[in-house]
Structure 1
Amino acid sequence: MNPMRRRLLAWVAITSSSILSCNLYADDTESHAANTKPASVVQPGAKLKMIGESYKFTEGPTADNDGNVYFTDQPNDRIVRYDAKSGELADWLSPCGRSNGLFFVAPNQLIACADANNEMWSINLNDKSHMVLVDSVDGRRFGGPNDCWVDTDGTIYFTDPLYKRPYWKHTIPSDNPRGVYRLSPDGKLSQVVDDLVQPNGIIGDSENRQLWIADIGDKKTYRYDIAEDGSLTNRKLFCDMGSDGMALDQERNLYLTGGAGVTVFDEKGNKLETIAVPKGWTANVTFGGEGHRELFITAKEAVYTIPTRVSGLR
């Protein structure tokens, strides 16, 4: 055989072998990647546990530093406390302004969306007294503050949709503007979002300066950057799902609520899993218990818990 031809055939054989090896390696890598799923946020083997069902419609859970959870039973005008150590539930405050969303501010303050008179409250945990922080904007009543988040400097962000209540003795026009507001520590109120159909759930990350707001009326959740002056910038669509309430964990996974239960998304907006809740509607969620590693879920007349492998964002 011609020496040149022999060298050419040898080169072809080596090249073909290399290409085949690369393809096999690529196929194996792709197969491995396809079969690798993120770890569940739920502790291995953990099951959903109903801890109470004597309510009419549960909402607004928030946890204190010890993991005790405060939540609302809005139609019955009461705030209920879940003791993290004993697991006992007991009425804590009634009446409570028909509070909806709550947020704990250390060491002894609850911020409450008090829906009876369309107000934002500050409730003292020690003596249970309250102070009205704000009740109107530009001379008109709010539509009904619904959910809130408090930044580390005490700035309050809250959503103001409109869900007409049968217990209102006043009238809120159907065309009342829907919005998201910022209440600064010195009491200055400003509107930070005005272009959502029905803003509802809200949660923030004070360390990374980000805020998530659910537009439940448009089945969307958006992520915003919190600017130095407290305004919201760089709106980005996070996922095509709205939410009644929401929570964040230490891995920056976002927990949204609705008809299926609690749906979890990673920090990039990829759906990880859904924790099914058998009540037809899950209203809100937070982290409580020891180390804040217990997901606390409000769902219509019931409340549930389930242990998680990752703690809630504090």
Structure 2
Amino acid sequence: MATIRTEWEIRDERFRGIGGDRFVRVLFDGGRWLEGPAYSPAWRSLLFSDIPNDRVLRYDETTGAVGVWREPAHYANGRTLDRAGRIVSCEHGSRSVTRVEPDGTRTVLADAWDGHRLNSPNDVVARADGSIWFTDPSYGIDTVYEGHRAETETGGCHVYRVGSDGTVARVAEDFDRPNGLAFSADEQTLYVTDTGRRHLRRFSAGTAGDDAPVLSGGDVIAECDAGGYDGIRVDAAGRIWGAAADGLHCLAPDGTLLGKLRLPEICSNLTFGGPRGNTLFVTATNTLYAVMVNVTGARYPAGR
């Protein structure tokens, strides 16, 4: 297994104690544009998307093997696990958010809002109340590279929520290309990246439950200095980790850039996983990387 030396760049003294392995493992390097990593503790495996090749791959942590999990895959992008450990995915090709049941059955959770087809759901998170939150930029309908060319029907690119009753609600607007999203550990704050505008926004998510209000706030708390922020995750200390053109950026909850893990490719997404939740899995252009660190991910439903 190939490795590269880790390069931690300190921007703030609060980042100095963060580190881990002195090397980053290369787990797979045969993709075209990798995305959507999600770790299953039950399977000891990581699922991730190779969008242009229309397949979902599976890395087996116990053997180190990478194989095809689903192909074709409706040009799947981001995914997460819900409280029951089921896989929830965003699919560019079907323009929907879907869930895979334990027996392999695929269930559509959302494919339209107010009678209009969604653009191309991109990334998704699950909340403890059973709701599913996702971003809907137009990457999958802009060209045929990551989906099928089509016209938008929703009047723009927005953030949506699927309630436990199946109702799809638009919860945030005023984006160019909403992309990655992540809840704080207490689920009262939702962070959302806008890759088109190269910044990170912070929203108040209100009280959990199907009567939760539309997101409030939405202040820009960070500007990306290397491309635009893509996927994000939150660690147990509340820090935000964001994928960028030069690696992973680690931000304080107020948006202060604490430091970076430099990587040689444009990074698209990341997740915490491994038996103790302290392995960072990173999708970056055609490569899947992993590095064990001395921080753990915030405990999302059925995962990290």
Distance in 2 between residues matched to 1:285 and 1:307, nearest whole Å: 13
Which one of the candidate residues 296, 299, 303 is aligned to 1:311?
Answer: 296
Contact conserved, 1:110 with 1:123, CA < 8 A, in 2? yes
Instruction: Map 1:122-201; keep pairs closer than 5 Å.
Output: 122-124=99-101, 126-163=102-139, 164-166=142-144, 168=147, 171-173=150-152, 176-201=155-180
1:87 counterpart residue number: 64
CA shift at 1:95, angstroms?
Answer: 1.8
Q: Does 1:274 align with 2:260?
A: yes
CA shift at 1:169, angstroms?
Answer: 5.1
Q: Per-residue displacement from partner, 1:156-203 (whole Å, max 9, x unpaired)?
A: 111011111316556224984110001101011111111111111111
1:236 counterpart residue number: 219
CA shift at 1:79, angstroms?
Answer: 1.4
Query: Which amino acid in structure 2 is aligned with residue 180 of structure 1?
Result: V
Q: TM-score, normalised by structure 2?
A: 0.85
1:246 counterpart residue number: 232
Distance in 2 between residues matched to 1:143 and 1:35, nearest whole Å: 39
Instruction: Map 1:43-122; keep pairs closer than 5 Å.
Output: 43=20, 45-66=21-42, 67-122=44-99
CA shift at 1:206, angstroms?
Answer: 5.0
Which structure shows the higher strand fraction? Answer: 2
Contact conserved, 1:84 with 1:290, CA < 8 A, in 2? no
1:293 counterpart residue number: 278
Query: Which amino acid in structure 2 is aligned with residue 300 of structure 1?
Result: T
Query: Which amino acid in structure 2 is aligned with residue 233 of structure 1?
Result: S
Percent identity, please: 27
2:247 counterpart residue number: 261
1:17 counterpart residue number: none
1:6 counterpart residue number: none
Distance in 1 between residues matched to 2:17 and 2:251, nearest whole Å: 11
Contact conserved, 1:152 with 1:206, CA < 8 A, in 2? no
Which shows bigger deviation, 224-233 or 176-185?
224-233
Q: TM-score, normalised by structure 1?
A: 0.83
CA shift at 1:51, angstroms?
Answer: 1.0
The answer to which structure, 1 or 2, has the higher relative contact order (CA under 8 A, 6+ apart) is 2
SS at match of 1:290: coil
Report the CA distance shift for 1:192/1:35 in structure 2 as closer, same or farther (over 3 A). Answer: closer
Contact conserved, 1:84 with 1:288, CA < 8 A, in 2? no
Query: Which amino acid in structure 1 is aligned with residue 251 of structure 2?
Result: F
Q: Does 1:219 align with 2:192?
A: no
Contact conserved, 1:78 with 1:98, CA < 8 A, in 2? yes
Contact conserved, 1:62 with 1:104, CA < 8 A, in 2? yes
Contact conserved, 2:98 with 2:110, CA < 8 A, in 1? yes
Contact conserved, 2:189 with 2:203, CA < 8 A, in 1? yes
Which structure shows the higher helix fraction? Answer: 1
Q: What is the Cα-based RMSD across aligned positions, in Å?
A: 2.1
Query: Which amino acid in structure 2 is aligned with residue 234 of structure 1?
Result: G
Distance in 1 between residues matched to 2:105 and 2:152, nearest whole Å: 31
Count of aligned residue pairs for this structure pair: 278
Query: Which amino acid in structure 2 is aligned with residue 313 of structure 1?
Result: A
Contact conserved, 2:12 with 2:259, CA < 8 A, in 1? no
Contact conserved, 2:41 with 2:274, CA < 8 A, in 1? no
Distance in 2 between residues matched to 1:208 and 1:182, nearest whole Å: 14
Larger Rg over CA atoms: 1
Q: Per-residue displacement from partner, 1:100-147 (whole Å, max 9, x unpaired)?
A: 0101124331111011021111112x3322111121122222111001
